[in-house]
Copies of this chain bind each other. A is one copy, B any other.
Amino acid sequence: MAKDLFTVHLQPIGRRIQIRKDQTILDAAQLAGVEINSVCGGVGICESCRIRLSKGTLSELTLDEENSFSEDEIRQGYRLACQAYPLSDVIIDIPPESLSTPQRLQLESQQKAEEIDPIVKRYFIEIYPPSIEDLRSDLSRIRGALTPSVGSFEVDYSVLQKLPWHVRSCNWHVQPIFHQSKLIQLLPATPHSRILGLAVDIGTTKVAAYLVDLESGDTIAQAGSMNPQIAFGEDVISRISYLINHPEQRKEPAKNLLHQRIIEGLNKLIDKMLSDINDPTISYENIVDAVIVGNTAMHHLFAGIPVEQLGISPYVPAVSEPLYIPAKELGLSIAPSALIYLPPNIAGYVGADHVAMLLPTIYPYYSDSSKRQSNVMAIDIGTNTEISLLHHQKITSCSCASGPAFEGAHIQFGMRAAPGAIEKVQITSEKKVLYKTIADQDPVGISGSGILDAIAEMYFADLIDSKGMFLNNHPNMSIQGRNTEFILVPAEKSGHPQEIVLTRRDVNEIQLAKGAIRAGINILLSEAGLKPEDLEAFIIAGAFGTYIDVRSAMKIGMFPFIPLEKCHQVGNAAGAGARQMLLSKRYRQVASELAEQVNYIELSNHPKFPDEFSKSLFFPAKELAN
């Protein structure tokens, strides 16, 4: 009897999933949470879901597949994931170019293998109740019971505010929790209780939060949201301007709405994660540590530190050193005496999030003596793009004002990566325009990665020239003086009454953004005397960087041409770094070390910047793509 279910083992990610024989390998990947590119939506024409059969048997090649691959590729086992059904258990290799988020997943699995040595530690003690012969205070009793294991320690005074009823209500069986040598929390000494840490990456646009079991290392909940500060401005500068224009909010964090909103926003994420966990033994009192990362402005706004000076040259932070802030002082809904760790900032526009991002990206090369000669570049693309280059065991960093175009701002039909956003675009050799939307809904706009694809495809289809000028050689092209545009989606296929177009002005916005990034990359390389081919790894982090087609980014010259196998799209590396610092206190020292030794280059002031920037506005010669 034929099997009904087959196991599909997806490599190199290491995920296994069972599917029915009427489900495709693309279905398998999607069920397993592995994001394979699929621009055409699984109908066999976009060729973006290329995979390779490593072991086992798949259904026969379809006609579409035969047209998609060379004979050599077919011999090697290449298939389109959307066309292939399993006929046995199979092992499937997913080449990097077919994965939306390959290393991100790897990063998360690597995370579990990391050393676990958190800065907080707990004990289980039983103390004797007071008697007329032993009139010591409650705290003296706890000290007495802990002395053999802990020695002398400080006590956060808030702990005292519940100490007497706590020790009595749990019948003198207590679980004291220490942040290094400071007593920060008391929990009942119940078995199986967990202590958790909160890791947060506050992006200008998005916030990602994780709850991590501080003993097993497991991420037991995660949640994301838009940054609620968006109501006050899309980018950092407009939020700073808001505060400059509202001086009544400057002097007290309690009155600073940007500060208040991000705290409220994080508290909602914490609530959501706790309710997802849905374990009556776990409350915010169990969250006894936190690591929060963000760019310098997000860092300051979170901590209630003024940011106005970040809007004025020479853009210096109020504070760059690492901070510990008691949760109660910020009103964050975790254990009140937990000490929130904010890693160091490097400069006004290279913040603690970049330091966190260096931990899972550059640091493995930096710390491995066998890789002493590695040249590695790591780039975190966002409204501001930070780039670091490791060379001769030294890190040089810069920040590029890439702007919010990749987030959809300043683009006529630009939008964030939400359902209905076009995220993949392909222009076939017959000049047919294919696209894929998020959640496969009717298209309503274009996401950043969709715009990159569209421009790369238009450039390679000779619809725009290397300067971004539109060329009149496609029926969808409409050139009317300054109002030049290319119709991506006609009105009748759009999710709203309008056609969805890409304008000359849109392309220009992207040229400015990608030009700034490329200028940063070039200056870092040239300062080190390196060429792109000298890079051993090119690591792309951040939500946007995770979803872009790296080949498109290279085709439009945002990145230099680098072999794809050297490119790693690692997802939210800042969040991963934050979790590393939660789970191992050693990484906090590493973060300080890295921040300390970074050589920061201020691009706005760099003599080569104007040249590099204007050169980078153009698109590169197409033959370089081969």
Contact = CB atoms under 8 A, between A and B. Distances in A.
A246 interface: no
B309 A158 contact: no
A431 to B, nearest CB: 50
Contacts of A315: 135
A98 to B, nearest CB: 43
Contacts of A135: 314-316, 347-348, 600, 602
Nearest to A309: B164
Interface residues of A, number: 49
Interface string A292-326: 00000000000111111100011111111101110
A419 interface: no
A139 B320 CA distance: 8
Contacts of A158: 329
Contacts of A137: 316-321, 345
A250 interface: yes
Contacts of A149: none
Contact of A132 (B140, B168, B602): B602
Contacts of A224: none
A55 interface: no
A306 B161 contact: yes
A160 B319 contact: yes
Given A138-B319, A157-B325, A305 B602 contact: no
Given A132-B313, A319-B139, A328-B329, A160 B602 contact: no
Interface centre among A132, A163, A305, A313 (most CB of B within 10 A): A305
A305 B160 contact: yes
B131 A314 contact: yes
A123 interface: no
Contacts of A347: 135
Contacts of A163: 305-306, 318-319
A250 B329 CA distance: 21
A56 interface: no
A483 interface: no
A164 B600 contact: no
A305 B140 contact: no
A308 B162 CA distance: 11
Contacts of A162: 251, 306
Given A137-B317, A139-B320, 20 more contacts: A130-B316, A131-B314, A132-B602, A132-B605, A135-B314, A137-B318, A137-B320, A137-B321, A138-B309, A138-B317, A138-B319, A139-B319, A139-B321, A140-B321, A157-B325, A161-B253, A163-B318, A164-B306, A168-B309, A329-B329
A323 B183 CA distance: 14
Given A316-B135, A602-B132, A605-B132, A165 B306 contact: yes
A155 B161 CA distance: 25
Interface string A410-433: 000000000000000000000000
A136 interface: yes
Nearest to A306: B164
Contacts of A323: 157, 160
Nearest to A253: B161
A303 B132 contact: no
B303 A138 contact: no
A323 B154 CA distance: 10
A152 to B, nearest CB: 11
Nearest to A250: B165
Contact of A164 (B136, B139, B168, B318): B318
A246 to B, nearest CB: 13
Nearest to A247: B165
Interface string A128-148: 001110011111100000000
Interface in A194-245: none
A503 to B, nearest CB: 37
Complex A-B, nearest 3 residue pairs according to Cβ-Cβ distance, in ascending order: A137-B320, A130-B316, A137-B317
19 contacts: A132-B602, A135-B315, A135-B602, A137-B318, A157-B303, A157-B325, A160-B305, A160-B318, A160-B319, A161-B303, A161-B304, A162-B306, A163-B306, A164-B306, A164-B307, A165-B251, A165-B306, A328-B329, A329-B329
Contacts of A605: 132
Nearest to A296: B137
A162 B306 CA distance: 7
A132 B314 CA distance: 5
